[in-house]
Amino acid sequence: MADGEVQPVAVTAVRMVAVDEGLYALRIGEIGGDAGAISGMEFPVAQVATPFAEDGNGPEIVASFPRRGPWLGREGGTVIIRSPAGGGHVIVTAYGPAEQSAVPLALDLRRLDGPVAGIEKAAAAAAATSGGSVSAESQTREVPTEILLHIERAGDRLFPGRGWVGALGRKLQIEAFSIRPLEAIAPADIEFKGFLPRGGETQWVQGGALCGTRGRRLPLIGFAVRLGSHLSGRFDVIYQGSFFTEGISTPHLPRRRAGRSVGSDQCAHPRAGDGARKTAGGGLNRPAP
């Protein structure tokens, strides 16, 4: 091939997704089509893009996994999108060799910073399965919290415990954290621990205390949260994390036996993370009294 020669490629799929204001994870499934290479670039591939906004305030791609940037390989991946007030659109385009015909493209869009509606829907589904019903009194509502994070190169930062906290998408490691409930339960009634590289972990510490380290360049690679046993029948804690290479974890739910919490799962990956979330915005959910 002569230098500068233009090589043809085929657009094998195009999808446009509308997003309202908020933070989203868009999962792109495996990209179909024949494998090949053109000018050293492996195909098939997909590009995630946000159309130009006249006011410059359109949706923004803040992180992507497993690759950085807007391009995804054959295996697909996940991009994290922050959409401004008024919302916008995201376009996913798949490419293949010039002779490739159209291929299906599977997309899964999930909001990451929504209210407790998702928890309430889950409760409603559980009630329907058991033949019961969910009343206004039994629906969940969050316990407000404050979350302190010690972030690489940024120091201590205090966040309201709603949605995601941290430097999501900026690749800044979280080195320590603390959770303090603001009402309904005492700080001593919530405990958490951190997981460190090479199999290390902290002790369980109570609400308001710092878990982790400052100034040692020692990132947390995971965390776990639990409530005092006397509260486990009345409250749930649900949480998830964002990790550099593995992306966003699934929500971690309390394990129960006979209606009582019997433990908490660690939310951890081999590489450091840059964000954490208590999935109902504040992280502690309880049936309304």
Check: CB of residue 125 under 8 Å from CB of residue 90: no
Calculate mean pLDDT across residues 141-151: 87
Give the tokens for residue 273.
Answer: 């993370």
Q: Given the structure tokens 């058991």, which residue do they identify?
A: 130
CA distance 243 to 271: 7
Per-residue model confidence (pLDDT) at position 216: 87
* pLDDT score, position 280: 31
Question: Closest by alpha carbon to 57, among 85, 79, 81?
Answer: 85
192-230 pLDDT, tens digit per residue, is: 999 988 888 999 999 989 999 998 888 888 899 988 888
Rounded Cα gap, residues 250 and 242, in angstroms? 10
pTM over 0.85: no
- Position 69 scores a pLDDT of 79
Question: What is the pLDDT, as a whole number, of residue 2?
Answer: 54
Residue 267 — pLDDT band, cuts 50, 70, 90? low
Q: Is residue 287 over pLDDT 60?
A: no
Task: Identify which of 25, 93, 83, 21 has the alpha carbon closest to the alpha carbon of residue 58.
Answer: 83
Read off the pLDDT band of 3 (50, 70, 90).
Answer: low
Q: Residue 161 pLDDT more than 60?
A: yes
- Which range of 59-68, 109-118, 163-172, 189-198 scores highest in mean pLDDT? It is 189-198
HSE-CB of 279 using CA atoms within 13 angstroms: 23
Measured between alpha carbons, how far is 119 from 280 in angstroms, rounded to an integer? 7
Question: Is the model more confident about 196 or about 128?
Answer: 196
Whole-angstrom distance, CA of residue 166 vs CA of residue 242: 10
CB atoms within 10 A of CB 247: 20
Per-position DSSP letters for 115-135, written without gaps between them: -THHHHHHHHHHHHHTT----
Q: Which residues of 144-177 are buried (b: 16+ CB within 10 A; e: fewer)?
A: bbbbbbbbbeeeeeebebbbbbbbbbeebbbbbb
- When mean pLDDT is compared across 79-88, 148-157, 159-168, the lowest value belongs to 159-168
246 pLDDT more than 50? yes
pLDDT of 286 reads 41
Average pLDDT, the chain: 77
- Given pLDDT bands bounded at 50, 70 and 90, which one contains residue 120? very low
pLDDT band for position 44 (cuts 50, 70, 90): very high
Predicted confidence (pLDDT) at residue 239 exceeds the cutoff of 80: yes
